């Protein structure tokens, strides 16, 4: 049933009224969300420090010592069961910190060798971390984690956007050593790898130190209280003052790279021989210059954007919208949080093959800004709609740019503007708008964004993909109010994206919709000795209409969650959805289960499954779905790690199988040391279809195999040596699985810093 014009207006105005009423009430009842932080004064190091995991230098005897006195999960700021000391000092060139982690039974310390930033493995080990808010503005921070063997992980945390990115890498030193009393960690971070205000004045930084102590549960122990009724984390940090006279040197980093590869190919349909390809040698240079400690310029000429980690396999069967793969390329990861907004209007993987680029990011006082410019040799395009998306890649040169400005407002709020542009032959896409983030109280936050776009496609492309021949414009609006408290969490959001809106520099695969979303959760916390750490009971609902006033989605979901002993968690969900697709309305009921457990060091396993109704998007009809995805990760001693994951998907029509898909991935890693490992990855897809149940011809059987073998030696994230091999196999009905291509590659990178 269609809504009348009056009803549609009432629906949308009601959504906005709910949001702004929440703002009004929150403003009236707003509390001071900032907890009183304990202050410390740091002193310069009185001696040189050798980073070896042995805290025997005089500098550590004189360093400021902070006790990790609060277990914030699963306990609620209770006295921890183990003692931990955090030590901090600095020289003119480096920030130093260390941990003494006492343990009643050091034989139970979980410690494994792994590649840096391998967070799936990292969180299973005993480790420590420090978060540093160098601007003391309680908005973003640098995060450094180290396990008991000295393995590194680093990340950017931008609290306003809920963004934590472990793809970000800097060059720093760390060492860990297991002892008869526990373990020690020692770290040195060069100041030229950080951003901070003018070093000529004494500075106060927000700092949080934490220890992860995984046993039957994962105990997390902190240097300050973590209140469950305060939604901001950075506002609860300790305040450490005394930083002054830091020297960043010339603050220049040059990262030359040399990549050589040869790809051999075969036409599997004709059964020909493998044809050897040419050896392609690709030199590149990426430069980083800290003009000031808080203003960074990055530039690249023929930058190295080669991947040595395969994208995690995803099933692309019976999907509506384009898949999303994360950004992994270093040039784009520097300062990536500066470009975050509620809509993902900046998604740098749209820049596919740049000949060069530059980036300028920085913060001065309350003003943060960023520029990106790139010249791309490929134009990646996504054509979004209400009920699906299409995509293509054109071998056309494209110039692209991004401008971002954000102004800090009050204690924890911001206002910002954003522009993105892409220009090619007979093509352009421009997007501009404003956004804001307002922390209304200890628990309540409002964010919003408005964007307008103008787009013009080449005539042939517009015809091929059903787009307007003339230029098209559109708007995107969203507003969200959410409450994150100790016992209750809820949020209201309204999103409105017009049919003509395009964000070709971003990832917005759906347009032509107006949506109202409401969600609420009740949290129950366990006490010490209870059978659970946390229980969650939730409900949410969504109403979505297209611009013609048709109800395209009505979703209702109930769920219950559990977290408890053996680092176990589970969630059961029931959903009833109404979905419109190709002018047909489908009533869908589903049941979903998610569960995982980490019972001991080096072992984890989990499962996700969905059972119920689904839409067969290829044939536009209702079907029945079974979807199962188990995984496990096994540590064989400290050096070997094996992970196995599988995805099973079966769609049936009245008991007859439409398709059956199995996607498996096996990854085996042998770590010889902190710096060196060998890795093998195998991905296998087996897809079978019943052609008689399809409205258009489809192959009955498709098989693909991808393999990759890699030798890696890393002195730091940029000084690396990689030697690898990968290939692809294809099999179809009447065609045995046959190797279609193979690639040999080598990469050498070096980081020169001054």
- Selected residue with higher pLDDT from 352 and 172: 172
Euclidean distance between CA atoms 559 and 94, whole angstroms? 48
For residue 467 the two structure tokens come to 């787009």
* 427, 456 Cβ separation under 8 angstroms: yes
Average pLDDT, integer, range 5-11: 48
- Out of 3.30.365.10, 2.60.40.1190, 3.30.70.1560, 1.20.1090.10, select the CATH number for domain 31-243: 2.60.40.1190
For position 734, what pLDDT does the model report? Answer: 81
Does the pLDDT of residue 591 top 70, yes or no?
yes
**Is residue 10's pLDDT more than 80?**
no
Quote the pLDDT of residue 319: 56
pLDDT of 619 > 80? The answer is yes
- Quick check: 450 and 475 in contact, CB under 8 A? yes
pLDDT exceeds cutoff 70 at 48: yes
Contact at 8 Å (CB) between 613 and 587?
A: yes
DSSP assignment string, 139-172: SEEEEEEEETT--EEEEEEETTTTEEETT-----
pLDDT at 656 over 50: yes
Q: What is the dihedral of CA 276, 280, 281, 286, to 10 degrees?
A: -140
Kindly give, in sequence order, each residue whose CB lies less than 8 Å from that of residue 56, ignoring residues fewer than 6 positions away: none
- HSE-up of 286 (CA within 13 Å, CB side)? 21
What local confidence, expressed as pLDDT, does residue 317 receive?
A: 54
What pLDDT is attached to residue 316?
55
pLDDT of residue 79: 96
Per-residue pLDDT tens for 302-330? 765 554 544 445 445 555 445 555 666 76
pLDDT of the residue at 410: 85
Question: Mind listing the pLDDT tens digit for each residue in 261-291?
Answer: 899 999 887 778 889 999 989 898 889 898 8
Annotate 712-731 with three-state secondary structure: EEECCCCCEEEEEEEEEEEE
pLDDT digits (tens, 9 = 90+) for 197-255: 876 789 999 999 999 999 989 999 999 999 999 988 999 999 999 999 888 777 899 99
C-alpha span between 236 and 37 (Å, rounded)? 6
pLDDT (0 to 100) of residue 49? 97
- pLDDT, tens digit, 9 for 90 and up, residues 324-358: 556 667 677 777 788 889 999 998 888 877 888 88
Taking a C-beta distance cutoff of 8 angstroms, is the pair 748, 258 a contact? yes
Question: For residue range 184-200, what is the model confidence (pLDDT) as tens digits?
Answer: 999 999 998 888 887 67
Convert the pLDDT of each residue in 22-34 to its tens digit. 444 444 434 444 4
* Mean pLDDT value across residues 561-570: 94
**Whats the size of the chain, residue-wise?**
754
Residue 616: is its pLDDT beyond 80?
yes
Yes or no: say if 367 and 135 are a contact pair by the CB < 8 Å rule: no
Q: How many CB atoms lie within 10 A of CB 316?
A: 12
In which residue ranges of the chain is CATH 2.60.40.1190 found? 31-243
* Bridge partner list, 78: 71
Mean pLDDT of the chain: 89
- Identify the CA nearest to 372 among candidates 312, 431, 420: 420
pLDDT value for 320? 46
Q: What percent of the chain has pLDDT over 70?
A: 91
Please report the pLDDT score of residue 412 as a whole number: 84
Instruction: Return the percentage of the chain with pLDDT > 90, whole number.
Output: 66
Q: pLDDT value at position 23? A: 47
């Amino acid at each position: 049933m269609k809504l009348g014009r009056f009803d549609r207006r009432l629906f949308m105005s009601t959504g906005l009224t709910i949001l702004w009423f929440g703002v009004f009430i929150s403003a009236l009842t707003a509390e001071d969300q900032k907890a009183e932080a304990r202050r410390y004064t740091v002193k310069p190091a009185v001696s040189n420090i050798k980073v070896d995991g042995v805290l025997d230098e005089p500098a550590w005897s004189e360093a400021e010592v902070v006790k990790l006195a609060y277990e914030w999960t699963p306990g609620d700021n209770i006295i921890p069961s183990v003692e931990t000391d955090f030590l901090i000092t600095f020289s003119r060139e480096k920030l130093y910190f260390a941990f003494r982690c006492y343990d009643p039974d050091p034989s139970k310390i979980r410690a494994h060798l792994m590649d840096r930033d391998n967070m799936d493995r990292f969180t299973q080990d005993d480790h420590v971390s420090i978060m540093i808010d160098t601007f003391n503005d309680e908005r973003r921070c640098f995060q450094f984690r180290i396990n008991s063997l000295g393995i590194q992980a680093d990340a950017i945390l931008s609290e306003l956007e809920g963004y934590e990115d472990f793809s970000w890498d800097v060059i720093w030193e760390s060492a860990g050593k297991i002892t008869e009393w526990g373990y020690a960690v020692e770290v040195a971070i060069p100041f030229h790898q950080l951003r901070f205000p003018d070093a000529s004045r004494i500075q106060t930084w927000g700092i949080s130190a934490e220890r992860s102590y995984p046993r039957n549960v994962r105990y997390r122990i902190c240097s300050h209280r973590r209140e469950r009724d305060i939604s901001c984390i950075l506002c609860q940090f300790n305040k450490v003052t005394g930083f002054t006279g830091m020297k960043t040197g010339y603050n220049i980093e040059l990262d030359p790279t040399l990549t050589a590869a040869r790809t051999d190919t075969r036409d599997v349909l004709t059964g020909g021989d493998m044809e050897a390809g040419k050896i392609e040698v690709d030199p590149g240079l990426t430069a980083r210059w800290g003009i000031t400690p808080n203003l960074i310029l990055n530039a690249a000429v023929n930058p190295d954007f080669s991947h040595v980690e395969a994208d995690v396999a995803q099933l692309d069967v019976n999907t509506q919208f384009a898949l999303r793969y994360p950004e992994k390329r270093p040039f784009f990861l520097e300062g990536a949080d500066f470009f975050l907004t509620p809509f993902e209007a900046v998604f740098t993987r749209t820049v596919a093959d740049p000949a060069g680029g530059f980036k300028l990011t920085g913060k001065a006082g309350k003003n943060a800004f960023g520029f990106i410019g790139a010249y791309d040799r490929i134009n990646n395009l996504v054509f979004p709609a209400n009920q699906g998306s299409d995509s293509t890649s054109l071998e056309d040169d494209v110039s692209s740019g991004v401008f971002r400005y954000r102004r800090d407002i009050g204690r924890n709020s911001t206002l910002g503007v954003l522009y993105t542009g892409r220009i090619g032959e007979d093509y352009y896409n421009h997007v501009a708008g404003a956004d804001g983030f307002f922390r209304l109280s200890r628990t309540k936050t409002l964010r919003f964004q408005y964007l307008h776009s103008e787009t013009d496609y080449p005539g042939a492309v517009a015809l091929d993909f059903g787009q307007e021949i003339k230029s098209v414009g559109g708007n995107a609006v969203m507003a969200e109010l959410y409450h994150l408290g100790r016992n209750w969490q809820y949020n209201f959001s309204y999103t409105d994206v017009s049919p003509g809106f395009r964000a070709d520099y971003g990832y917005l695969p759906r347009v032509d919709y107006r949506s109202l979303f409401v969600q609420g959760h009740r949290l129950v916390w366990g006490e010490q000795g209870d059978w659970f750490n946390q229980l969650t009971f939730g409900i949410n609902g969504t109403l979505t209409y297209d611009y013609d006033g048709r109800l395209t989605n009505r979703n209702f979901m109930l769920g219950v969650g559990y977290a408890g002993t053996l680092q176990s968690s589970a969630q059961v969900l029931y959903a009833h959805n109404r979905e419109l697709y190709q002018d047909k309305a489908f009533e869908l009921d589903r049941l979903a289960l998610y569960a995982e457990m980490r019972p001991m060091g080096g072992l984890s396993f989990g499962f996700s499954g969905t059972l119920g109704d689904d839409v067969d998007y290829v044939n536009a009809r209702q079907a029945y779905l079974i979807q199962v995805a188990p995984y496990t990760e096994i540590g064989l001693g400290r050096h070997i790690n094996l992970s196995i994951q599988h995805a099973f998907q079966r769609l049936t029509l009245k008991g007859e199988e439409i398709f059956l898909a199995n996607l498996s991935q096996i990854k085996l890693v042998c770590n010889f040391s902190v710096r060196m490992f060998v890795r093998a990855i195998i991905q296998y897809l087996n897809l079978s279809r019943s052609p008689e149940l399809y409205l258009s011809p489809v192959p009955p059987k498709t098989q693909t195999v991808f393999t990759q073998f890699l030798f890696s030696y890393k002195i730091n994230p940029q000084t690396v040596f990689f030697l690898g091999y990968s290939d692809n196999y294809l099999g179809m009905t009447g065609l045995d699985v046959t190797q279609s291509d193979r690639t040999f590659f080598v990469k050498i990178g070096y980081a020169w810093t001054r």
